[in-house]
Amino acid sequence: MAATSDQTQPAGVAAAGVVPMPKAWKPQEVEEHMYREWESAGLFSAAADDPRPRFVISMPPPNITGELHLGHAQYTVQDLYCRYKRLLGYNVLWVPGTDHAALGTNALIERQLAAEGTSREAIGRASFDRRVEEWYANYGPRILNQLRRLGFTADWTRLRFTMDPAYIRAVRTAFVRLYDDGLIYRGPRIVNWCAHCASSVSDLEVDWREHEDTLYYIRYDMADGDGSLTIATVRPETMLADTAVAVNPSDDRYRRYIGRYARLPIVGRELAVVADDYVDPKFGTGALKVTPGHDPNDYEIGRRHDLEILSSIDKEGNIVSDDWVPDELRSRDALTARGRIVEMLRDRDHLVRTEGYVHDVGHCDRCGEVIEPLVDDQWWCAMSRLAAPAIEAVEDGRIRFHPERFGAGYLDWMRRLRDWNISRQIWLGHRVPVYYCSRDDQHVFASVEPPTACPQCGGTELRQDPDVLDTWFSSALWPFATLGWPDDTPDLRAFYPTDILDTAREIIPLWVSRMIMTGLRFMDAEPFHTVVIHAVIQDPHGQRMSKSKGTGVDPLEMVDRYGADAVRAWSADVALPRQDVRFDEDRIRSYQLFANKLWNVARFALAATAETERQGLDSLPAGALEEFDRWILSRLDALIVRVTDGLETYRPGEGITAIYEFTWHDFADWYVEAIKPRLRLQPADPSRVAAASVALHVLDVVIRLLHPYMPFVTEALWTRLPGDGTPLTAGTQVPRWPAPTGRQDVALERSVESLFEVVRRVRDARKEMGAGERETLPAAMQLTPSTAGLLDAGEGRRALGLLARLELVEELPGPAGRVVLGDGIEVSLGAPAAGAAADKASLERELKAATANIDRLEQQLASEAFVTRANPVVVQRSRDQVQAAREKRAALEEAISRAE
């Protein structure tokens, strides 16, 4: 890699000390340049003929409806696994792309047109199409730039867009095959109609919101004059299209009405009274007006009883002008008509009463308009034959969800699937590839290539269906259509099926389920084996982020402020296995600070070590490692296990948390501080060489473990460590992911950490005694017989002196100022030059705590049940603890008496 900025200098240059490493890690000065280097070196491109095992992710294509929001930072999870797998030696392909988002983009462009005082009808289809192209040309590149700024290693040479010519052919092919197999059909059924978008929308695109409405009780007299039925409705305007009244067959109140006829007020139509189990006798009056033309449930009742379907509301949301509609209501919009109808009912004494009523009303997901259910000719995709194998794939475990609970939700939804309304009446999108011959209404056919003649009669006057397809119909083909399907391409053969799909949970029914269905149908294989559902990012108050409320956050703003590494680390931390996560800028910032910390600890280690010491651990002579060396290597082994395990179980937060804690606290705070004197020894001193080698080894491993999370800072450091110069971002033949080395030593860890605890207590005591920060105190150390050899002499003794700023002596010159106790160790501190000679109060405080601890343990051990039934290991631990606590209490009491 060529380097222009000093932070990306090759290792040799920096190591020679020619160019010093800057004091602070400044991602803003490094990341963008470094990314361009990676991309231009082709590090993200996978080869179809690469013999290594492959790992593939299809990127969920962001909608080109605008710029990305912070939620897209969750794509970090995908890059994390791509980089992890590259380090493991896989041939990795991450296929990127964008989605045309027909309904959404269409709504935005229409809004734009409306703001300019025009409309799509006014400017015509050609101009509209140009608008669409401009839109995509504007936002598409911005989105891709955002993804690049986050450091994502998607293979941009394979970028796809769901409206590319090749993709259009894939969509048409899928449609034609399903059509020819009878799984796509056209027919009149009730749909969710949005008058504003002038299109149907699928059940999943209806947004239900609570409304306060009025429930009207309306009396329908019987046609034969004998009695009446009162019904309740919130939508009196739909009564014009009533074609029946329904009651529950078991409802004694209404049994005598069944089979007779009621007369519809205002209109005068006769309505059959039918018996249907759907009717809830306890709701309202127990009698239901049936309007098959404008209510999904009524539609079902209508089918069961073979009722006529009438429409009283048209696609503009106005009352129809059919001759059975009273003149004064015709063409009025539905809402004004409602008021007028209520007046008419009141005038004619049909309105029994009204009451307030709170219920949910469907709104268009895209534009917010109230949805009008109406019956319309639409294209449908039959679900049951497609769903069955997709259900089995998850039941059998061929596809697994993480977190697991989402699998149950998927199955529940799939088992209740209804046919899918796939046509939309807008201009933007994939046109339905169905053609009608002008010679004969019966000559209807679907065709992948635009046909020139009717296959049945050869007629050349053909008309294409005006509808377009639901965007999700095209997205459903994503994992294979991006690889060249329907052609049998090398990419398709090499890279399908993919491995992991990572997305948000709300997308499971919209997209995941449909990819599984089409993958099994067209490719005869599940499109992926693992579905990872990441958390949804909310605003800091736990509300959904929304652009309109101004609570949306631009990921680039965060990247500019804290660096991509910090944003990524935070994303990876919170993405799994949680369900919701609040945006927390401080937490992002903490990862920037971490990058700086890593940078500096590396800077120190590199500056303090000589070129000759950068040879690797293996070249050290046997026995060269001291206690702290073995301690940090033991901790490092545990870290490798924890990070790897976290990634393998789809809990990446475990990994980044562990790396953070290890690097900052174990490595920088303790290990590096403890070896500083050793690094100042002569270059050839074995102790120095061991410390330097271990420090560099730890850095090397940490950088590799951290790289998937924070690629930029790790790459910058990698070039300065000994190695072959191949960027970490590059895939290599030889795996580079660290493996545990068997150096874990739990007993050693315990004794070293108990020494740290003593250091902490001494620091605390020094402060309480009023010792100066830089003042060295004399101290005598006493060890109990059980003490580990570590503390007796050598490194432990040295470290205690260094880290707690003590001079260890055999005998204190005067009375002890304080006595500090640890596990098997007692440190008597000499009095500081100034300040309180002894702090009896704090000793007494400690005594109190120690006594309470003894009481608790003694009580526990006095319990017969505990001693006989608890795990012996636990019992022994309590015994050891109480013993240690008693020793400590005795020492404290003695110290207190000395202080008096």
Check if the beta carbon of residue 290 is closer than 8 Å to that of residue 307. yes
Q: Does 160 bind RNA (CB under 7 A)?
A: no
The answer to whether residues 311 and 293 touch, using CB atoms and an 8 Å cutoff, is yes
Nearer to RNA, 643 or 672 (CB): 672
Residues 6+ apart with CB under 8 A from 681: 687, 688
Q: Within a 10 A sphere around the Cβ of 648, how many other Cβ atoms?
A: 10
Stretch that binds RNA, among 86-94, 318-326, 410-418, 723-731 (CB under 7 A): 410-418
Contacts to RNA from residues 575-614, by CB under 7 A:
578-582, 584, 586-587, 590, 592-593, 596-597, 600-601, 603-604, 607-608
Tell me if 754 sits within 8 A of 44, measured CB to CB: no
In whole angstroms, how close is the CB of 110 to RNA at the nearest point?
24
- 869 scored as a contact of RNA (CB under 7 A): yes
Interacting residue with RNA among 669, 749, 844, 893 (CB under 7 A): 669
Helix/strand/coil (H/E/C) assignment for every residue in 278-345: CCCCCCCCCEEEECCCCCHHHHHHHHHHCCCCCCCECCCCEECCCCCCCHHHCCCEHHHHHHHHHHHH
Least gap, CB of 292 to RNA (angstroms): 13
- Mask: binding to RNA, 32-71, rule CB under 7 A, as x and -? ----------------------------------------
Among 132, 143, 178, 288, binds RNA (CB under 7 A): 288
Task: Determine the interface stretch with RNA among 154-162, 283-291, 341-349, 690-698 (rule: CB under 7 A).
Answer: 283-291
CB of 214 to RNA, least distance (A): 11
CB 751 within 8 A of CB 788: yes
Nearest to 416 by CA among 509, 324, 315: 509
Closest distance to RNA from the beta carbon of 811 (Å):
27
CB of 735 to RNA, least distance (A): 25
683 binds RNA (CB under 7 A): no
d(CA 161, CA 478) in angstroms, rounded, equals 10
CA distance 71 to 537: 6
Mark 238-253 as b/e (b = at least 16 C-beta within 10 Å). bbbbbbbbbbbeebee
Which residues within the stretch 748-787 sit at the binding site for RNA (CB under 7 A)?
760, 763-764, 767, 773-774
- Is residue 505 within the footprint of RNA (CB under 7 A)? yes
Between 37 and 654, CB nearer to RNA: 654
Of 18, 70, 184, 66, nearest in space to 544 by CA: 70
Nearest to RNA of 80, 176 (CB atom): 80
419 binds RNA (CB under 7 A): no
Candidate segments 453-461, 476-484, 537-545, 777-785, binder of RNA by CB under 7 A: 537-545
Contact window for RNA (CB under 7 A) among 90-98, 116-124, 274-282, 811-819:
274-282
Residue 279 makes contact with RNA by CB under 7 A:
yes
Size of the site for RNA (CB under 7 A): 96
Only segment of 22-30, 115-123, 342-350, 390-398 that touches RNA (CB under 7 A): 22-30
Phi, psi of 192, deg, nearest 5? -85, 110
Interacting residue with RNA among 80, 632, 703, 885 (CB under 7 A): 885
Residue 480's nearest CA partner among 429, 534, 427, 518 is 518
Can you read off the two tokens belonging to residue 479?
């994992």
24 binds RNA (CB under 7 A): yes
Q: Considering just the CA atoms, what is the radius of gyration of the chain in Å?
A: 37
Q: For residue 573, give the 3-state DSSP assignment.
A: helix
Q: Can residue 464 be called a binding residue for RNA (CB under 7 A)?
A: no
| 3-state secondary structure labels for all residues of 754-813 | HHHHHHHHHHHHHHHHCCCCCCCEEEEEEECCCCCHHHHCHHHHHHHHHHCCEEEECCCC
Separation between Cα atoms, residue 170 and residue 179, nearest integer Å? 14
* 866 touches RNA (CB under 7 A): yes
Q: Residues 734, 871, 897, 900: which binds RNA (CB under 7 A)?
A: 871
Q: Per CB under 7 A, does 368 bind RNA? A: no
Q: Does 233 interact with RNA (rule: CB under 7 A)?
A: yes
> Are 399 and 526 spatial neighbours (Cβ–Cβ below 8 Å)?
yes
CB nearer to RNA: give 354 or 732: 354
- Given the complex with RNA, which of 106 and 248 has the nearer CB atom? 248
Between 544 and 549, name the residue whose CB sits nearer to RNA. Answer: 544
Binders in 196-215 for RNA, by CB under 7 A:
203-204, 208
Which range, of 39-47, 62-70, 289-297, 688-696, touches RNA by CB under 7 A? 289-297
> Does residue number 834 form part of the binding site for RNA (CB under 7 A)?
no
The answer to whether 293 and 374 are in contact (CB under 8 A) is yes
Cβ(515)–Cβ(551) below 8 Å? no
**For RNA, which is the closer residue by CB, 582 or 630?**
582
At its nearest, how many Å lie between RNA and the CB of residue 170?
26
DSSP 137-190: HHHHHHHHHHHHHTT----GGG-EETTSHHHHHHHHHHHHHHHHTT-EEEEEEE
Residue 838 structure tokens: 């002894």
Residue with tokens 């590259």: 86
Q: Which residue has the tokens 């978008």?
A: 197
Residues 637-656 close enough to bind RNA by CB under 7 A: 651, 654
Question: Which of 490, 540, 789, 794: binder of RNA (CB under 7 A)?
Answer: 540
296 binds RNA per the rule CB under 7 A: yes
